[in-house]
Structure 1
Amino acid sequence: MVDESTQSTVSKVVGLAVAGGTVWLAQKAVAAAWNAVTGHTPPKPEDEGDAGLTEVAIAAALTAVVASLARVLATRGTARFLS
């Protein structure tokens, strides 16, 4: 029989892996959508390019919102699946 602390540890590890994969996929989806709309990849803060501060801020905010939402949904879904 599996004790509660072992199950909790397994849940955390599986949840972390699923959340990480989901966030990675969400970032790829944002990049693809950004590319479809603007014709180029989203700017990164460390890139030296033609992107203005507004474009960098919008890309960062959009990526953060989508990644955070994906992480929350993945974590909750994993918790439901494992319980």
Structure 2
Amino acid sequence: MAETVLVRYFAAAEDAAGRPEERIELAESTLGALRTELESRYGADMARVLRSGSFLVDRVVSRDPARRIGATVDVLPPFAGG
């Protein structure tokens, strides 16, 4: 069963997506499935952000592709100093 997730983009991730947020329907609710979808939609620019960036899921930073996601995921680029 497909689920819809609100994806919010910040800084370089927003630049790569061309928007601050969007709703995406995923067949599998994992970070790995979301990552694959984002790279498919937005290509090399988003792939570069995701290679060194991270996701915020339930207020916890994660890069684990098996991590289950909920209703909202933030896509965070790498930040200077952290």
TM-score, shorter chain, exceeding 0.5: no
Question: Please, what TM-score do these two structures have when normalized by structure 2?
Answer: 0.24
Higher share in helix: 1
Higher relative strand content: 2
Greater RCO between the two (CA within 8 Å, min separation 6)? 1
Higher gyration radius (CA): 1
